[in-house]
Structures are given as structure tokens and as C-alpha cells.
Structure 1
Amino acid sequence: MTRMVGCWSLVLAGVLALAVQVLYFSPIDPIIILERPPKASPFAVNNHLQSVTKLGEGILKDPEDVCVDKHGTLYTASRDGWILRLHRNGSWEHWKNIHSPTMLGITVTTQGAVVVCDSDKGLLKVTEDGVTVLVSQVNGSTLSLADEVVEASDGSLYFSIASTKYGLHNWYLDVLEARPHGQLLKHNPSLNETTVLLDNLGFANGVALSKDQDYVLVCETWKYRCLRHWLKGEKKGKTETFIENLPGGPDNIHLAPDGSFWVAMFQVTHEKMEFVHSSKVLKHLVASIPRLTKLMGGMTKKAMVANVGSDGKIMKIFDDSQGKVMNFVTSALEFEGHLYMGSLNSNFIGKLPLRSEF
């Protein structure tokens, strides 16, 4: 009897310890619902991304995004704080050191300046003369987790805030909480004015303008969809779903020369850990133990990019189903018949020829 009482005491102590862990140490306020992609994909595995050429291997560290200027020079931001550029002759240049490991989306303006999203510092403008902070606050609140940016023909900058609650170092807590903290913003440089176009987005990530710039797209990573916000025409000011039920969480999105879009996707949750999203208690437990939180992500296990038409339909998908060469692809940019891909888990940029057989 004494042994049985002791066992029950241990069980009760364990339950109480779990309750304390959940109630007092969890940093999230979760809801149970998390929209996840369908298990089956209409596209067969092709592993085309295993055929990439590795650019800058060993020079770069987790280059999240890529962009190309009017001269054909490629730019990317590295985790070691450098903005590097690849010249036409194939040589790499360590161009500017921002002294920040948190740079994400990057674009080149028509005036030749580089604009980069720094998840800690905000929206930055980089030129030969140095670095200027364009936006660090909106409506009195400090920017957190600025993610991707694109420039319109009038000089306006559209950019995303992935989460107003969590930063880059603990971004997965936003997924576990599954509450919409993301935003789409517009910055007018001439007026030095920044406005919020869309609020309450599910981890707002990639941003792209249409070929005619009559609408802007923004990706919601843990909702596995992209939204379309109309800037011109009869639907001006309205927002609708552009594409949903993507086979992975959409990261950056880039306009292709033909008016379609390239969407980089990753596996948001490890397949063996998906059950966690069905329970608030499990979410609290995982969120309060950093080691468990790290186990949740499946983003380094595979790679996938999709070419999506202006009608919102997927036309083709390229992948590396086991992540043998490319994994955690975060951006895909088409330039002169090739696809250039950034990754937050690689020391190179992948270059894939867009051959007719693809």
C-alpha cells in the first residue's frame, strides 16, 4: 500500500509540474486551429532542385533572399552581416557590412539603392554612402520581424511584418500560437509616411507586385496561402485569396518575366510533430521548452518552389524531396532563363536552368 501511495504521489507531482510549466512558463496564447496543407500533391516528386549549380558556396551564410539590379548584378544578405553582390564576370564582392545577423528580404530600387528588411532594425536603405533606416516604427510601435520588400514604379515600398509579437530568434512561437500577428505595410519615401494596408495576417512573409502593378500579393506562411490586395481598378482596396492549400508554407514570392510568380515553400512542421498542433496543452508545453520548439520545424528536410500563374493556379513545381542538395528554400527569382534560390540553411545560392523539359 505504501509503495502504491508513493507511485500515485509521483504521478500527481508530475501532473502538477506539467501544469505549472504550462500555466506559468509558456510564452504563447494559442488557439488549436492551424490550417495545414493537403497530404497529397497533384505534382509528382521530381528532385529537379538537386541539379542546381552552387553559387558562392562557402562565401555565403544562409542567404535568405536574392535580387538583381538593372545591370545584372545579383545581391544577397548573409547571416554574417554582409551584403554581397555577384558581378557579371562571376566574381563575388563583400559590398557592405551592416553588422547584423538578422537581414531577410532584399530588393534593388530603380535608383540603384538596396533596400533590405532587418528583423531587428527595420527597413534599411543601403548605398555606396552608407546605411539609412527608412522605417523603424509604425504608429508608435517598433517594427519587429520585417520580412520582405518590393518597390513599385512610383517609388513606394511594400513590405511585410511577419509577426508583431515574436522575433526572428523565436519565430516558431508564432506558428504554435496560430494567432494572426502579421502585417502588410506601404512606405512612401517622398512623404516619409508608412501606413498599414493589411493587419491580422498569419505570419506575413513574401511580397510581390503584379506585372501591371494593379495588385500586391502577400504570403501567409502558416495559413499556406497568398492574399491579393488590389491597388487599382474596380476592386481597389479589396483583399481576396489569390492561392490557398499550398503544399508547403509560402516564404518569399517573386514576379517572373511572363507575369507569373515564383513561390518558395518549406515544410512548416516536422511530419512526426504535427500532432502537437491539435492540443493547447501540448502547444504550451513545447513553447515553454526551447529544445522541444526546435524539434517542431521540418523546414530543413526538403525544398520546394512553385510557379504560379496570374490566375492563382500552380503550373509547375520543382523540389528536392529529401533535401539532399537544397533545403529550406526561402526565395526563388527568375533571371535570364535561370532560377536563383536563397535558403536559410545553406552556404550558397542555387542556380537552376529553366530548360524546356522542365
Structure 2
Amino acid sequence: MTRTSTSLEVVQVPGNGAEDVLVASAGPHEGAVFTGTDDGAVLRVSHDGRRVTRVGHTGGRPLGLEELPDGRLLVCDAHRGLLALDPSSGAVETLVTAVDGVPMRFCNNAAVAGDGTVYFSDSSTRHGIAEWKHDFVRLTRTGRLLRRDPDGTVTVLLDGLAFANGVALAADESWVAVAETAARTVVRLWLTGPWAGQRDLLATDLPGYPDNIARGTDGLVWLALASPRDPVVERVQRAPLWVRRAATSLPAPLQPAPRRVVHVRAVDADGRVVHDIDLDGPADRRAFHMVTGVREHEGTVWLGSLHEAAVARLRPDRG
């Protein structure tokens, strides 16, 4: 395992809450970084961070971003569901808004298979993004992992998840993993082979709360750890429901707040930690915090944040 104290390079963008990051792997935008902000914009950042261009607008709140086989961007929109956005024209197609006739409350993150099958998370069936703390603290366990087949069929693969969040596919597509933010775990569902249909844990007892996850070009699964473990929050999660409701009804200044940290981790297919990047310098914490998106691309790690009007990048030490 490698640890690093490498400083960040922060790239400002014209919009708050650049929650996820996607590095284009091919096509006319290869190497560019895409992100979405809380005003509904989807932005393209040049590979050197010098130019930022708005390529579209979802009319909602874009979160997770992925590439589709036809060159469009898959957008998990917290308000509008699963969308496809053409970065050349800005045209938006709605793919999924409801499951079994019930509108989704909190479409969050996804991974796309080679044939266009989409695995995506719906964080909660009770609370939307504006009330994410309610679901996190009250521990509703109504999160889901879903699959959209190329013909448009939607299937619930896993439910009862503790705030379903980031999604990643194995390189050979033998399994799909989904982060359970409120439980500090990453659940893996086997798709092929002798364990097909069974689930286990790719990561457990994480030192922080995992948000988006993604497989990098290095083959590792990278985890964004938005905030360190909070013993007070976890005591509240174990309390009676009336206590959990009371905790989230307090004025915002009295509620538990995420600490300012920059922490990402990478694990291999066996769950072994390969990189643990925890930037503990005060300058880094002032410049950027609450990492909710992470994407490794050819040795560079790009970061997104729910609370920043910026994305950031770093290059892990290799020693």
C-alpha cells in the first residue's frame, strides 16, 4: 500500500458542487474531464485544466457521469433520473425515471458494460438529495442497485442498501460493486461464474464514508471517502427512530457536519488496499474538501466534490 502527502492542483469551474468526475477515454474529447454542477450544467474541463466549457444542461441536478458506447454521456440526475447527454449538441434523452411505476427519488451513480447495460444506484426511496443527511443519519436502508438492459428493461438487483452510492464494474464484468455510504462498506454482486447471484463485500470497515467509486485505467477500484468515520453519527444511527429523526430536525449549525478532508483509496479485485491517499495538510483542506468523485486515468487522479466549485487532480507517489 502506498500513502502520499502530495498537494492538490485545484481547477475552478463556473458552478458549485462538481460532484463527480469522468475522464473521456476515446473520441474527440479524449482526455478531457467532465463534471456536473448543482445548477444543472454539465461541464468539460480540458486535460490541462486551462479551459472549461459547458456542453449541456440536464434541467436537474447531475451527479454520476459515465461514457456510453455511442459516445454520449450517461448522467445520473438526482431529480430527473437516468439520462443520456450528447456533449456535441447538448441534446438530452431520458432513459429511466421510474422503477415499477414509482418515480426514483435519488439517482446517484452508475457503471456501463461493453454492451451498453447500465448498472446504477438509487440512494433512497424516501429522501431526495436535498435531504441526504436525513437518509444517512436515519439509516432507512432503502437504497437500491439497479440494471438497465439495452432494450430498456429495468431490474432491481439489490435493495435494502444503506445509502447506495458509487458503482463500479470489474474489468471482465464478472461483478458489479456498489458503495453503501452509511455502512462504510462496498458490496459486490457476482454476475458470472460459480458465484453468480451471490454477494460479498469488496471493502468493509472503511475509515470514512464512501461516495462515488470507479475502476481506473490501472484496473483498481478507486473510492472517494467523503468524510472520516464519525462515532457520534454512528451512535445516532443505532438509536431509536425518534432520536434519529430529532437529530436531523435540529438547526443546521447543531447537526453533525462533514470534516474538511481529502481522502481517496484504491483497492484491487480482492479488496486489498493498494493506495491510500490522505492529504492532511491545512493548505489542502482549505483549498478543497469533501471528495465525492474520483477517477484515475493513466496515473493522474481527478477528484470531484459536492461542496466545491472546482475539480482537483493529483498524481500518487509510487514508493
- Confirm or deny a common fold (TM above 0.5): yes
Alignment partner for residue 236 of structure 1, among 184, 187, 196?
196
Q: Which residue of 1 aligns with 2:111?
A: 150
Q: What's the offset of the Cα at 1:59?
A: 2.4
SS of corresponding position for 2:83: strand
SS of corresponding position for 2:286: coil
Within 1, Cα distance between the matches of 2:149 and 2:239? 43
State the identity %. 30
Within 1, Cα distance between the matches of 2:298 and 2:124? 34
Q: Which residue of 2 aligns with 1:166?
A: 127
1:66 aligns with 2:26: no
Amino acid at match of 2:226: F
Within 1, Cα distance between the matches of 2:201 and 2:232? 29
1:104 aligns with 2:59: no
Q: Which residue of 2 aligns with 1:53?
A: 9
Checking the alignment, whether the CA contact within 8 Å between 1:183 and 1:200 is kept in structure 2 is yes
Checking the alignment, whether the CA contact within 8 Å between 2:13 and 2:310 is kept in structure 1 is yes
In the TM superposition, what are the counterparts of 1:23-62 in structure 2 within 5 Å? 47-48=5-6, 51-55=7-11, 57-62=12-17
Q: 1:182 to 1:273 in 2, by over 3 A?
A: closer
Within 1, Cα distance between the matches of 2:90 and 2:247? 46
Q: What's the offset of the Cα at 1:88?
A: 4.3
State the Cα deviation string for residues 283-309 of structure 1 (Å, max 9, x = none).
Answer: 2322333536x72232x4212100111
1:337 aligns with 2:288: no
Q: Which runs of 5+ in 1 are unaligned?
A: 1-41
Instruction: Report the more deviating stretch, 345-354 or 267-276.
Output: 267-276
Q: What's the offset of the Cα at 1:314?
A: 1.3
Within 2, Cα distance between the matches of 1:52 and 1:116? 26
Amino acid at match of 2:287: V
Q: Which has the larger radius of gyration?
A: 1
Checking the alignment, whether the CA contact within 8 Å between 1:123 and 1:146 is kept in structure 2 is yes
SS of corresponding position for 1:285: helix
SS of corresponding position for 2:287: coil
Q: What's the offset of the Cα at 1:277?
A: 3.8
Q: Which structure carries more strand by proportion? A: 2
CA-atom RMSD, angstroms?
Answer: 2.1
Within 2, Cα distance between the matches of 1:338 and 1:186? 30
Q: Which structure carries more helix by proportion? A: 1
Amino acid at match of 2:99: V
1:126 aligns with 2:85: yes
Q: What's the offset of the Cα at 1:58?
A: 4.6
State the Cα deviation string for residues 47-97 of structure 1 (Å, max 9, x = none).
Answer: 43xx11112x15242111111221222211111221111234642211112
Q: What's the offset of the Cα at 1:103?
A: 1.4
State the Cα deviation string for residues 168-196 of structure 1 (Å, max 9, x = none).
Answer: 0011111222231000000013x111110
Within 1, Cα distance between the matches of 2:228 and 2:155? 29
Within 2, Cα distance between the matches of 1:221 and 1:43? 24
Within 1, Cα distance between the matches of 2:228 and 2:140? 15
Within 1, Cα distance between the matches of 2:301 and 2:2? 19
Q: What's the offset of the Cα at 1:257?
A: 2.1
In the TM superposition, what are the counterparts of 1:194-233 in structure 2 within 5 Å? 194-233=154-193
Within 2, Cα distance between the matches of 1:64 and 1:93? 17
Q: 1:319 to 1:332 in 2, by over 3 A?
A: same
Q: What's the offset of the Cα at 1:266?
A: 2.1
Amino acid at match of 2:307: N
Alignment partner for residue 37 of structure 2, among 78, 82, 106?
78
Q: Which residue of 2 aligns with 1:182?
A: 143
TM-score, scaled relative to structure 2 = 0.90
Q: Which runs of 5+ in 2 are unaligned?
A: none
Checking the alignment, whether the CA contact within 8 Å between 1:269 and 1:297 is kept in structure 2 is no
State the Cα deviation string for residues 310-348 of structure 1 (Å, max 9, x = none).
Answer: 110112211233623321101111112200000011121
Q: What's the offset of the Cα at 1:143?
A: 0.8
Q: Which residue of 2 aligns with 1:282?
A: 243
Instruction: Report the more deviating stretch, 103-112 or 264-273.
Output: 264-273
Q: 1:211 to 1:81 in 2, by over 3 A?
A: same
Amino acid at match of 2:292: T
Q: What's the offset of the Cα at 1:129?
A: 5.7
SS of corresponding position for 1:175: helix
Q: What's the offset of the Cα at 1:354?
A: 2.7
